[in-house]
Chain A
Amino acid sequence: MKFNFIKYTAAIVMTSLILVGCSKNDNDSEPLGPDFSGTYMQKDQMGRPAVNTVFVSADSKDEFNLTVPSQQSAKFQSMFEANLLGLSPAYANDGKNALGQDAAAFTGLLATDVLNVSLDGKTTFYDGVAANTLSGRALADDVITVELLLIFGGEDFTENPTLSDDNVSANDKEFSPKFPYLASPW
């Protein structure tokens, strides 16, 4: 009796193994692609270069990364403005930057950390032509010097000259005019 129980149990187990094996074989005729299931949670985000680095206070950097752009200005513009005024003397006494913005207007733009990109022509962070300003970000754009000029340079880029240019104006390898545009690794 006990022997039969073992025998039948073994038979059932064997049968189920075979059935499992068969059903797997059936699926082999269909391509089994990679598994893309699951939920992905935000960790980091970025629009314009160095915005989180420069304008967000140390204890708010993680929170900024977890705030959607549509809510960033309401939540962080006043912090950006306070940090800008603390950082740069160029905005004191109603000072403005070369885009004609006072501290509130400039930080109102920056607090929403997205990159504006023109679909109609030249794409550059800043090339001295007003119409092209913030129309994209190209690889060779000297974005840090542009940001330093807008932070420290005042109305005509002449204020605080030792803080307005990091004096690094180009990449250490040449970019390619062809895809993928970036240079091969060192």
Chain B
Amino acid sequence: MKKSKILLGTVIIAIVGLITVVAADHIEAPAAKGTTADITDFYAFQGEDTSNIVFVANVQGLLAPSATAAASFDENVLVEFNIDTNNDNVEDLVIQAIPRDGKMYFFGPFSPSATGLTSNIGFASTQSSVAITNYGASATVGNENGLKMFAGPRDDPFFMDFARYGEIIAGNATGFNDPGSDTFKGTNVLSIVVEVPKSRIGGSGTINTWVETKVKQ
């Protein structure tokens, strides 16, 4: 009797967990979903030093604390920050980030020889690097060639009642709850943070920017 109650409880928890994960993931692009190249978020904002812009790319979201130590950046996945300085939505500059043997290497900002869906690593351009911070360790910050750099697990900065949004879209609910429930509460991501002087990405005015993951063929 007691055992079956525990079993029933476990099944219910498993089902609730499954619904939450599916709700948070099921409308992502199928080819990228759940892979080491799955981008969860992108931020670009003025730094503490207001002459700098900070770029943040997060990958591999919804990591439970128990799964975070084992998560790692994929050496076959290039993360590319694209910067358009003349408003034609074509990248004029890129900053590339790719891990090798415990370090995150950064190339650029540089003007790529080709734009679009395929890239080569610009190893002729300025190269900088930072040791990837391990789970549980304090953040290792790199300072090289005018860049500040970080790579490693962080709290997922995104907040949203994604589970409820999924229910609304599925037609199972007609509105949000108040208060809502942050689907991303208590979860981690793998983050790449790079801070660069504005003077090296256009100086003034407005840039258009986006992030891409590209996989080695």
Contact = CB atoms under 8 A, between A and B. Distances in A.
A7 interface: no
Interface in B55-78: 56, 63, 65, 68, 77-78
A65 B47 CA distance: 29
A168 B216 contact: no
Given A65-B29, A162-B175, A186-B186, A171 B210 contact: no
Interface residues of A, number: 69
Contacts of B150: 179-180
A39 B155 contact: no
Residue of B88, B98, B205, B212 most packed against chain A (CB within 10 A): B212
Interface string A57-72: 0100110111011101
Interface stretch (A18-26, A43-51, A96-104): A43-51
A175 to B, nearest CB: 7
Contact of B174 (A116, A162, A186): A162
B214 A43 contact: yes
A180 B141 contact: yes
B95 interface: no
A186 to B, nearest CB: 4
25 contacts: A43-B215, A45-B211, A45-B212, A49-B41, A61-B27, A62-B30, A68-B116, A69-B89, A69-B208, A72-B89, A114-B84, A118-B205, A119-B204, A123-B46, A124-B45, A144-B160, A167-B179, A168-B159, A168-B182, A171-B159, A181-B56, A182-B157, A182-B193, A184-B154, A185-B63
Interface of A: 34-47, 49, 52-53, 58, 61-62, 64-66, 68-70, 72, 112-124, 135-139, 142, 144, 162-163, 165-173, 175, 177-186
Interface of B: 27-32, 35, 37-39, 41-48, 53-54, 56, 63, 65, 68, 77-78, 84, 88-90, 98, 100-101, 105, 115-121, 123, 135, 138-139, 141, 148, 150, 153-155, 157-161, 164-165, 168, 174-182, 184-188, 191, 193, 195, 198, 201-217
